[in-house]
């Protein structure tokens, strides 16, 4: 959409692909980004493989304004997100001094190589650290690297969410008591004439009052109102339940 920052989400983890763990992070981020006015363009779920992570991170970084990764940042063998991103951009890994200092302060005499792995970041990465964070968000170029544990991701994102705020989306919902086939041609004609407005049509089961919700959203309130009024003028009044 015009005047909108774009984003891509990369969910990393064999546990997601095998069904062992239910992914909730992409849904959370999608909702947050929409509320901030950011246009989410793609969600990818990939395995814990260095080559795959590197290729996906590089592609997303080139295509979108913001990239968010989730998973693969712990001390174990399958935590290879940092190595993957470094590989994709052709840089090495280095111990970030501030993260290393945090680990030493926390674990004192029991810091081993596995713990220090959590201080390894792609060369040139920076950290975003709030005084309430136990561990920083690592930022490499336009890639924000988050842990896979939902509670940690939600907390960290909530602390930095305002840096992503863009022009808000305007949204209208039209509730219709009709089958999609009854109004599809009318909707299609309005879509074709209003490129600044994004429409969606979603059948609903089990509701006595309406059978379809049509959504219309845009960065322009004026364009949205014009398109919605045009659609209202084409639809038979008897099928419109309400507009919100």
The model's pLDDT over 203-237, given as tens digits with 9 standing for 90+, comes to: 999 877 999 999 999 999 999 999 999 999 999 99
Task: Say yes or no: 34 and 119 in one domain.
Answer: yes
pLDDT of 14 above 70: yes
pLDDT of 110 above 90: no
Task: Say yes or no: 141 and 21 in one domain.
Answer: yes
Tally the domains of the chain.
2
pLDDT of residue 141: 98
The domain that holds 47 is classified in CATH as: 3.40.980.10
Q: Is residue 201 part of a domain?
A: yes
Contacts 24+ apart (CB under 8 A), 154-162: 154/28, 157/28, 157/29, 157/32, 157/68, 159/130, 159/132, 159/133, 160/128, 160/130, 161/32, 161/36
pLDDT of 1 above 70: no
Task: Say yes or no: 111 and 43 in one domain.
Answer: yes
Which domain range does residue 154 map to?
6-164
Task: Say yes or no: 18 and 47 in one domain.
Answer: yes
pLDDT tens figures, 118-172 = 999 999 999 999 888 888 999 999 999 999 999 999 999 999 999 999 999 999 9
Element (H, E) at 95: strand 93-95
- Say if CB 156 and CB 129 are below 8 A apart: no
pLDDT of residue 217: 96
The domain that holds 212 is classified in CATH as: 3.30.70.2860
Q: Is residue 219 part of a domain?
A: yes
Task: Say yes or no: 107 and 198 in one domain.
Answer: no
52-56, 103-107, 155-159: lowest mean pLDDT where?
A: 103-107
- Say if CB 98 and CB 85 are below 8 A apart: no
Please report which confidence band the pLDDT of residue 5 belongs to, taking 50, 70 and 90 as the band edges: very high
Q: Which of 164, 193, 209 marks a domain boundary?
A: 164
For helices 180-193 and 221-234, angle between their N-to-C axes, nearest 10 degrees: 140
pLDDT of residue 3: 59
Task: Say yes or no: 192 and 175 in one domain.
Answer: yes
> For the residues 86-115, what does the mean pLDDT come to?
89
Q: Is residue 97 part of a domain?
A: yes
Q: Which of 149, 164, 179 marks a domain boundary?
A: 164
Q: Is residue 1 part of a domain?
A: no
pLDDT of residue 2: 52
What global pTM score does this model have? 0.92
């Amino acid at each position: 959409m015009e005047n909108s920052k774009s984003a891509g989400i990369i969910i990393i983890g064999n546990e997601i692909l095998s069904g062992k763990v239910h992914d909730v992070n992409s849904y959370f981020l999608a909702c947050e980004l929409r509320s901030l006015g950011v246009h989410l363009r793609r969600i990818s779920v990939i395995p814990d493989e260095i080559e795959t992570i590197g290729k996906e991170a590089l592609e997303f970084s080139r295509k979108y304004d913001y990239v968010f990764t989730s998973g693969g940042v712990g001390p174990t063998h399958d935590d290879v997100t940092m190595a993957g991103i470094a590989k994709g951009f052709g840089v090495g890994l280095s111990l970030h001094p501030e993260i290393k200092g945090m680990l030493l302060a926390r674990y004192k005499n029991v810091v081993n190589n596995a713990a220090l792995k959590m201080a390894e970041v792609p060369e040139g990465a920076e950290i975003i650290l709030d005084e309430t964070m136990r561990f920083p968000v690592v930022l490499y170029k336009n890639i924000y690297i988050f842990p896979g544990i939902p509670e940690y991701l939600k907390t960290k994102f909530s602390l930095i969410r305002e840096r992503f705020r863009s022009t808000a989306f305007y949204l209208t919902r039209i509730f219709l008591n009709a089958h999609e086939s009854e109004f599809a041609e009318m909707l299609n004609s309005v879509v074709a004439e209003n490129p600044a407005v994004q429409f969606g049509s979603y059948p609903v089961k089990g509701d006595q009052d309406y059978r379809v919700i049509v959504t219309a959203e845009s960065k322009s309130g004026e364009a949205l109102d014009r398109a919605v009024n045009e659609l209202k003028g084409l639809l038979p009044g008897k099928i419109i339940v309400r507009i919100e």
